Amino acid sequence: MAFELPSLPYSFGSLEPHIDALTMEIHHDRHHNAYVTNLNNATAGTDLEGKSLIEILNNIDDYSAAVRNNGGGHYNHSLFWTVMSSSGGGEPEGDLAQAINARFGSFDKFKNEFSTAAATRFGSGWAWLCKKNDGEVEVCSSPNQDNPVMPGVGCGGTPILGLDVWEHAYYLNYQNKRPDYIAAFWNIINWEEVAKRYAE
Ligand code: MN
């Protein structure tokens, strides 16, 4: 079974004005689609066919750069679409809120740490909120299409929230102003989805 591009769970324009429709269309239909196509090309006819994406990422050092970049790209974007929503924003509730407060002291301190991780990731990459095995949460970032599911990358937990800080994610609307894009992201975070992933 080849890897497949997941549908966006909302229309291209539904995250406006925070992320514009054209950026979403190009990002999903071209960038993410290319990661899926290239991942399938890199795994076709190899013993990776039939393996789950998580299984591949957990052992990524055994595989080629093409598998790493495109497998990471497919995983990262599949997560990214789901943690945004036109009805997002605000703050998390319940167990996730408690875990954030326990680790960072307050939601605002967490917000500051995550935003700093996103803003200071040099070049292309991602900022993450991860769940560790003990239930603690941690913030980290990673270069390119790497993610903390890969051995030795970031904080080593399971990503439950991710922000794409590649220029292709924001350049049409924000140009070089990455901090403005990061600030806008807080208005569209789908905390219900993040909490669901925290609970898994
Ligand atoms: Mn991207």
Please check the confidence at residue 1 and state whether its pLDDT lies above 70: no
Please check the confidence at residue 124 and state whether its pLDDT lies above 90: yes
**What is the 102 CA–ligand 1 centroid distance (Å)?**
31
**What is the 166 CA–ligand 1 centroid distance (Å)?**
6
Q: For the whole prediction, is pTM greater than 0.75? A: yes
What is the mean pLDDT of the segment spanning 111-130?
98
**What is the 108 CA–ligand 1 centroid distance (Å)?**
26
**What is the 80 CA–ligand 1 centroid distance (Å)?**
9
Q: Which of 76, 60, 75 minimizes the C-alpha distance to 166?
A: 76
Measured distance CA(59)–CA(193) in Å, rounded? 27
Backbone phi and psi for residue 104, each to the nearest 5 degrees, phi listed first = -110, -15
The pLDDT score that the predictor gives to residue 97 is 98
Please check the confidence at residue 131 and state whether its pLDDT lies above 80: yes
What is the mean pLDDT of the segment spanning 100-125?
98
Measured distance CA(101)–CA(108) in Å, rounded? 9
Rg for the chain (alpha carbons), in Å?
16
pLDDT tens for each residue of 143-192: 999 999 999 999 999 999 999 999 999 999 999 999 999 999 999 999 99
pLDDT tens for each residue of 34-93: 999 999 999 999 999 989 999 999 999 999 999 999 999 999 999 999 999 999 999 999
Own/partner long-range contacts of 26-30 (Cβ < 8 Å, ≥24 apart): 26/168, 26/172, 27/77, 27/164, 27/168, 27/169, 28/77, 28/81
